[in-house]
Structure 1
Amino acid sequence: MNSEFTIAVHSLVFLAYLPDHMASSDLIAKNVSTNPARIRKIMSCLRKGGFVKTKEGIGGGYILNGEPEDITLAQIYRTVSCGTIKPHWCTGDPDEDCLVSSKIQVVMDDIFDEADLYFERYLDQITIASVLKKIKQCQ
């Protein structure tokens, strides 16, 4: 799992929380506790995915594009982080004579692919609105 997913969810929940659903990258970055340039990169991806719109000029920023009840975490995951459960490196050597060493990578890839699908199905049940509701219940 990479941090882009968490930052994207945090940013969208923050936009849903705001009365006008709009914020600058600086305001989002302050809320997320990260760099505004990193926020702009992730928000660009979310804009391409249709989750936010941008408003240029004074008073501009990012605005939620849709209802928080309709945006699932699985949609966000597929946009910014799909397939990140699987590590970039795996043990073993496909050219090795040892059965375990030569086949472990193939088996682990299958396991991670299945885990990714399971995770997406789980995230399909969670919306931006439900995350915001849980946050409000923590008060």
Structure 2
Amino acid sequence: MNSDFVVAVHSLVLLAYTPERLRTSDNIANSVSIHPVRIRKVLSTLRKGGYIQSKEGAKGGFYLTRDPASITLAELYTLTSEGTLKPKWPDANPSCPIGAHIERAMDDIFATGEKQLEAHFQHYTIADVLQRVHNESL
């Protein structure tokens, strides 16, 4: 899994937390504690996916275009990280009986694990994460 997933979840939960307020990329970056350029890359992906829109101008910023209860973590995983569960294997010795075949032997294991992860994420929405954050702050 790459960090785009957690950055996307964090960003959407922040936007859901104050739906009446537009958030700039700098504001979101400050909450996530990463560089605004990195936030803009993830926000661009979310915009193309139809999850957010932006308003230009001095009082502009980003806002959700979907109900947080309708956005599953599975959707966001697919959008930002699908195929990243499998690690990059080192260049193994092709003369070794293990090294020559280990990556292909593990491919199905990672593919199955990713499907199970996506199925698990299907049970959680941005609204659920926001509620969990709220519960943690009590």
Q: Which runs of 5+ in 1 are unaligned?
A: none
Q: Trace 1:17-36 onto structure 2 (pairs within 5 A).
A: 17-20=17-20, 22-36=22-36
1:48-76, CA deviations, whole angstroms, 9 ceiling, x for partnerless residues?
11111111112111111100000001111
Segment drifting more, 123-132 vs 17-26? 17-26
Q: Aligned pair 1:58/2:83, yes or no?
A: no
Q: Provide the rounded CA distance (Å) in 2 between the counterparts of 1:90 and 1:22.
A: 44
Structure 1: which 4+ aligned runs deviate by more than 3 Å?
Answer: 90-93
Q: Percent identical across equivalent pairs? A: 45
- Answer yes or no: is the 8 Å Cα contact 2:24–2:60 preserved in 1: yes
Question: How many pairs does the alignment contain?
Answer: 137
Q: Aligned pair 1:120/2:127, yes or no?
A: no
Q: Which amino acid aligns with 2:103?
A: Q
SS in structure 1 of the partner of residue 70 of structure 2: coil
> What TM-score does the superposition give when structure 2 sets the normalisation length?
0.92
Q: Which amino acid aligns with 1:38?
A: R
Q: Provide the rounded CA distance (Å) in 1 between the counterparts of 2:51 and 2:90.
A: 34
Match of 2:75 in 1: 75
> What TM-score does the superposition give when structure 1 sets the normalisation length?
0.92
Q: Report which structure shows greater RCO (CA 8 Å, sep ≥6).
A: 2
Q: Which amino acid aligns with 1:51?
A: Y
Q: Which runs of 5+ in 2 are unaligned?
A: none
RMSD across aligned positions (CA): 1.4
Q: Aligned pair 1:48/2:48, yes or no?
A: yes
SS in structure 2 of the partner of residue 101 of structure 1: coil
- Answer yes or no: is the 8 Å Cα contact 1:91–1:104 preserved in 2: no
